[in-house]
Chain A
């Protein structure tokens, strides 16, 4: 299990990286934390001809608070985000979810941007970004564009990144007053790919009515999925147990989960429903606390 040979570049600026990517395009692979890519290379499933290592691009490793929310560089280590008080305050859903991502040794190396760009359907971070309505900055030698998470994820390991583009920054909007959040997943063992997982971000107005909800799912489809029908069930109601149950049923209806050796499609669907029933009350509870405060 040794990787095949590759041409190796280690740029120190985004400009340099973008330039290299422009030159090598389809033949190149960006190396961020490498915690998914390198095992795939060790199995020789991935054999990129060119590897562009972003680990020395310091400008991609930052985390700061801005007017509208949190902005972080794509090379922010997952562990750094997990430990950051800023993330704890400004994106508590992300903070709550990160400990579910693999193991500390992996998170020490793994990056937020790497996980987003990898877009594994079973990964927690893409689903959370979708729930948080994050925006991503993509840069190529041709320029820069911002893409909302909803448009970014496009099916199985699919993203709207062009071959010459790099994901450079992630922007997470500041939670509105009355926001609540929760995450849960079921995995065979702690740190494994989830059999199913649910992230929820909800907003309650002063009267306890749900004014916004984003429920996202992982491991039940080709990519991270936004459960729009389920969110629709919540919005406009004062969410009761029955509403939550109806939302969970909507989650089950809206997915076509894959089967593998660990879980049948039916089991995954069932878990997505159960998890929604468990996650929403927690998110709503927090929203009530926040709206009351």
Chain B
């Protein structure tokens, strides 16, 4: 499954870049009281809690690795997760570009594999859940960015 899109952050690129490497910030962008810890250079581990509609929220173990880092413009994020009803494997390519007015345009393209029970039964909703989680995550990052910029100001 491909999830791709663009998102504009109202802030400079290097601040956005920093945010995207910060495990604390990243965990806020992930669903359900995520915990994420840096375990090596560009490597994070932790867990998220996901539940959609009738699907009971449950803990998914998460491993994130950032690769091909070209600060502050590009990286590839390898994300593996495993929960009680399945797993995901995939990578997302992220490009950050400066735009007018000091904003940052993010282009992302994720190639996600979903496996296990959730793939076999939940196909009708996977596309929407991925979209929803992406949008919510980006909005959360955007809020975080605003907060940080306000702090700095």
Contacts and interface: CB of A to CB of B under 8 A. Distances in A.
A46 B56 contact: yes
Contacts of B127: 258-260
B25 interface: no
| Interface secondary structure of A, over-half rule | loop
A60 B42 CA distance: 55
Contacts of A120: 53
Contacts of A261: 123
A192 to B, nearest CB: 10
A19 B117 CA distance: 34
A45 B56 contact: yes
A120 B126 CA distance: 14
Chain A: interface residue count, which band? 20 to 34
A122 B121 CA distance: 15
A156 B127 CA distance: 11
A194 to B, nearest CB: 11
Interface string A122-139: 100000000000000000
A48 B51 CA distance: 12
A155 interface: yes
Interface stretch (A35-43, A67-75, A176-184): A35-43
A167 B56 CA distance: 20
Contacts of A23: none
A40 B128 contact: no
A57 to B, nearest CB: 20
B56 A47 contact: yes
Contacts of B150: none
B132 interface: yes
A201 interface: no
B12 to A, nearest CB: 29
Nearest to B51: A46
Contacts of A258: 127-128, 131
Nearest to A221: B128
Contacts of A48: 56
Contacts of B85: 44-45
A155 B121 contact: no
A157 B53 contact: yes
B125 A45 contact: no
B124 A260 contact: yes
B121 A45 contact: yes
Contact of A45 (B122, B126, B129, B131): B122
B132 A46 contact: no
A45 B117 contact: yes
Nearest to B127: A258
A29 B129 CA distance: 21
A100 interface: no
Interface of A: 29, 36-37, 40, 43-48, 118-122, 155-157, 193, 222, 258-262
Which 8 pairs across A and B sit closest by C-beta, in order of nearness? A157-B53, A40-B54, A258-B127, A258-B128, A45-B55, A47-B56, A46-B54, A46-B56
